[in-house]
A and B are shown apart, each in its own frame.
Chain A
Amino acid sequence: DIRLTQSPSSLSASVGDRVTITCRASQYINNYLNWHQQKPGKAPKLLLYAASSLQSGVPSRFSGIRSGTNFTLSITSLQPEDFATYYCQQSYSTPRTFGQGTKVEI
């Protein structure tokens, strides 16, 4: 199984900050890495797919980049609605796996 190691597990930030979350895959997954946002009591929502492609309707302050088996999600100018938990997820192979999540708190 492909293990995704996400860091940090939580972070505190302020509105307007730049935030970076990393996800490291245990083996080659090409660019089959996706990022999801989940707010309390809500279903997750796809933010980025294929490491760096923005899902339709997602603000451009979200971006992603791949370097080998390391992936990064960045949020520039954090907004109040961005406080949530973020998960990386690989779709390269079955079983599909998720990172353990990063909670972005005020």
Chain B
Amino acid sequence: QVQLVESGGGVVQPGRSLRLSCAASGFPFSDYAIHWVRQAPGRGLEWVALISYDGSEKYYADSVKGRFTISRDNSKNTLYLQMNSLRADDTAVYSCVREGGVVAAFDYWGQGTLVTVSS
């Protein structure tokens, strides 16, 4: 079955960096575009970034552009999110999400990893 398992979250001070990983299994990872979506505590869902199936195209939310970098290693079935210059408002659960189907819906979600930015 499709599985997406995030790791790498934790508590980090403002201005520091963190790298998240998402290990995929149960499907041909290199065939699918993948997103990062985050949810601040008690808040709604916010799209963060998208990477195409082969890594050639990347898109970012304005709120993270220039600070976050999405990447993937298809040989390892793994997605990454490098987060630099972290701010308090980046505090959230970060989930990787597969895009699939005829309308590119978010069809499978990981459970997420919590990132807390605090001094």
Contacts and interface: CB of A to CB of B under 8 A. Distances in A.
A95 B45 contact: no
Contacts, number: 63
Given A43-B110, A43-B111, A95-B61, A49 B47 contact: no
B71 to A, nearest CB: 17
Contacts of B45: 36, 38, 44, 87, 89, 98, 101
B50 A96 contact: yes
Interface of B: 35, 44-47, 50, 59, 61-62, 95, 99, 101-112
What 6 A-B pairs are tightest by C-beta distance, nearest first? Answer: A49-B105, A43-B109, A96-B47, A34-B105, A91-B104, A98-B45
Interface of A: 31-32, 34, 36, 38, 42-46, 49-50, 55, 87, 89, 91, 94-101
Given A44-B109, A46-B107, A91-B104, 9 more contacts: A34-B106, A36-B45, A43-B111, A49-B102, A50-B105, A91-B99, A91-B103, A95-B47, A98-B45
